[in-house]
């Protein structure tokens, strides 16, 4: 079975097999890793190694801290303003899709966000204005954007270059580790784990050191970046099993050639899938090429009355979770790191065959 779920998403089969083997007797302890104390030496080793591997994979500079948190992406929609606003009352929020807009809604509880509407169209296709056209506000505490809109299938792949004064923050939930990025261009990067990292329940935050220590007094301690940092992400009990599993995924990624190799494969997978969509009158994707997501590929059938049959038959063929998000409709194939090229080949073979039979 190939699982195209947008999240929680497919995990690498090798990782699941290893976790299964270790489940009841981890490191000959006669117990599972999720049953041991997060404060014991054995788990601390797991935690530290996962953090180190994550830093290696993303080339995270030494002046950044990595936090392993609870609360998901939505938790960070609150944590970000609570930690980074300082004494400022506004922040710039770029709106290019569903999740960026959701971050704005939450930010309104803590400040008056200045929304930069970056949505546009190119030849009738949905697109995002280039960063050079984003009009930033003087006195904004930070700039926030979402480089991969999981629902809309829209990506912003440009590297931010707004100068040292602008604290760039970004929701990398559905694109982290899928392509190389320059972490030094960001003040804060955060990502829920359940797409490219591991199981739900874990959220990773990468924060530049000089941004610590500014949290609002109202910030819950479990969301306070400084408190988490001072306690090595163990202020409260962390999601230990998810942390361990994320560690296995990081090792798997390293073995596979790291982020550069993932980027190559992700590019190949996306080209294959968009190619089949573009070369048919039967399927369509309405995002401009420059902003197409390599992780989440929404597509519509020209005849939407065939949607349920498509879903039924694809499921029977072992291609699961292709139903599009209710906001967009149609289909969506999420093709994160764990989805092998063969999965996308199987999907495109099915799509061609379905078109032949029903087109
Ligand atoms: N941001 C992005 C880009 C997402 O795709 C999602 C969930 O799919 C979220 C935030 C919300 O994440 P969570 O459910 O972990 O709060």
ipTM of the complex: 0.99
For helices 341-358 and 258-278, what crossing angle results, to 10°? 0
Is residue 247 within 6 Å of ligand 1 at its C-beta?
no
**Contact present, 178 and 46 (Cβ < 8 Å):** no
Pocket test for ligand 1, best of 70, 95, 99 (most atoms within 8 A of CB): 99
Is 99 among the residues known to form the active site?
yes
Global pTM reads: 0.98
Rounded Cα distance, 87 and 110, in Å: 11
Residues comprising the binding site?
A: 6, 39, 73-74, 99, 150, 171, 194, 236-237
**Contact present, 188 and 206 (Cβ < 8 Å):** yes
Q: What is the mean pLDDT of residues 264-285?
A: 97
Pocket test for ligand 1, best of 5, 7, 205 (most atoms within 8 A of CB): 7
Is residue 97 within 6 Å of ligand 1 at its C-beta?
no
Q: What is the mean pLDDT of residues 243-269?
A: 98
Rounded Cα distance, 286 and 328, in Å: 11
Is residue 175 within 6 Å of ligand 1 at its C-beta?
no
How far apart are the two ends of the chain, measured CA to CA in Å? 25
Residues comprising the binding site for L-glutamate?
A: 6, 39
Residues 65-89: tens digit of each pLDDT:
999 999 999 999 999 999 999 999 9
Closest atom of ligand 1 to CA, residue 150 = 5
Rounded Cα distance, 46 and 247, in Å: 7
DSSP, collapsed to helix, strand or coil, labels residue 184 as helix
DSSP, collapsed to helix, strand or coil, labels residue 128 as strand
Residues 96-114: tens digit of each pLDDT:
999 999 999 999 999 999 9
* C-alpha 72 to ligand 1 mean position (Å): 7
pLDDT value at residue 8: 96
- Return the structure tokens found at 282: 């039967």
Is residue 173 within 6 Å of ligand 1 at its C-beta?
yes
DSSP, collapsed to helix, strand or coil, labels residue 340 as coil
Q: What is the mean pLDDT of residues 237-251?
A: 98
Is 243 among the residues known to form the active site?
no
Q: What is the mean pLDDT of residues 280-308?
A: 97
Is residue 300 within 6 Å of ligand 1 at its C-beta?
no
Is residue 83 within 6 Å of ligand 1 at its C-beta?
no
* DSSP assignment string, 56-100: HHHT--TTEEEEEESSHHHHHHHHHHHHH-TT----EEEE-SHHH
pLDDT value at residue 86: 97
Q: What is the mean pLDDT of residues 140-161?
A: 98
List, in sequence order, every residue forming a beta bridge with 119; answer none if it has no partner: 128
Q: What is the mean pLDDT of residues 287-294?
A: 98
Residue carrying the six token digits 């220590």? 213
pLDDT value at residue 352: 98
* DSSP assignment string, 254-305: HHTTHHHHHHHHHHHHHHHHHHHHHT-SSEE--B-GGGB-SSEEEEEESSGG
pLDDT value at residue 3: 97
Residue 184 pLDDT level (bands cut at 50, 70, 90): very high
Pocket test for ligand 1, best of 5, 72, 326 (most atoms within 8 A of CB): 72
Is 195 among the residues known to form the active site?
yes
Q: How far is CA 89 from CA 6, 108, 294, in A?
A: 34, 10, 35
**10 Cβ contact list (under 8 Å, min separation 6):** 2, 3, 4, 336, 338, 339
pLDDT value at residue 291: 98
Residues 157-182: tens digit of each pLDDT:
999 999 999 999 999 999 999 999 99
Residue 192 pLDDT level (bands cut at 50, 70, 90): very high
Q: What is the residue with the minimal CA distance to atom 5 of ligand 1? A: 150
Is residue 7 within 6 Å of ligand 1 at its C-beta?
yes
Rounded Cα distance, 188 and 175, in Å: 15
Instruction: State the maximum Cα–Cα separation within the chain, in Å, rounded to a whole number.
Output: 62
Q: Quick one: 216 exposed, middle or buried, by C-beta within 10 A (0-12, 13-18, 19+)?
A: middle
Residue carrying the six token digits 């489940």? 23
């Amino acid at each position: 079975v190939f699982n195209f779920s947008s999240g929680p998403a497919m995990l690498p089969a090798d990782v699941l097999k290893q976790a299964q083997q270790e489940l009841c007797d981890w490191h000959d302890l006669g117990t599972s890793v999720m049953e041991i104390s997060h404060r014991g030496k054995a788990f601390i080793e797991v935690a530290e190694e996962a953090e180190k591997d994550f830093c290696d994979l993303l080339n995270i500079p030494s002046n950044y801290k990595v936090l392993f948190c609870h609360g998901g992406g939505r938790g960070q929609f609150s944590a970000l303003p609570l930690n980074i606003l300082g004494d400022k009352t506004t922040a710039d929020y770029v709106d290019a899709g569903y999740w960026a807009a959701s971050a704005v809604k939450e930010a309104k509880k803590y400040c008056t966000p200045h929304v930069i509407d970056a949505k546009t169209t190119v030849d009738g296709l949905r697109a995002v204005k280039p960063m050079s056209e984003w009009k930033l506000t003087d006195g904004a505490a930070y700039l926030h954007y979402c480089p991969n809109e999981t629902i809309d299938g829209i990506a912003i792949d440009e590297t931010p270059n707004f100068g040292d004064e602008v604290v760039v923050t970004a929701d990398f939930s559905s694109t982290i580790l899928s392509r190389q990025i320059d972490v030094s261009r960001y003040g804060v990067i955060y990502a829920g784990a359940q797409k490219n990292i591991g199981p739900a329940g874990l959220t990773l935050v990468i924060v530049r050191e000089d941004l610590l220590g500014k949290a609002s007094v109202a910030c819950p301690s479990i969301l306070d970046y400084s408190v988490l940092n001072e306690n090595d992400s163990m202020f409260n009990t962390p999601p230990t099993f998810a942390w361990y599993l994320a560690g296995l995924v990081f090792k798997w990624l390293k073995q596979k050639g790291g982020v550069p190799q993932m980027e190559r494969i992700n590019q190949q997978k996306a080209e294959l899938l968009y190619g089949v969509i573009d070369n048919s009158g039967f399927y369509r994707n309405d995002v401009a090429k420059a902003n197409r997501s390599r992780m989440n590929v929404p597509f519509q059938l020209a005849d939407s009355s065939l949607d349920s049959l498509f879903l039924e038959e694809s499921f029977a063929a072992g291609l699961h979770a292709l139903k599009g998000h209710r906001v967009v409709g149609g289909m969506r194939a999420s093709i994160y790191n764990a989805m092998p090229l063969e999965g996308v080949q199987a999907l495109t073979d099915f799509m061609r065959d379905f078109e032949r039979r029903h087109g």
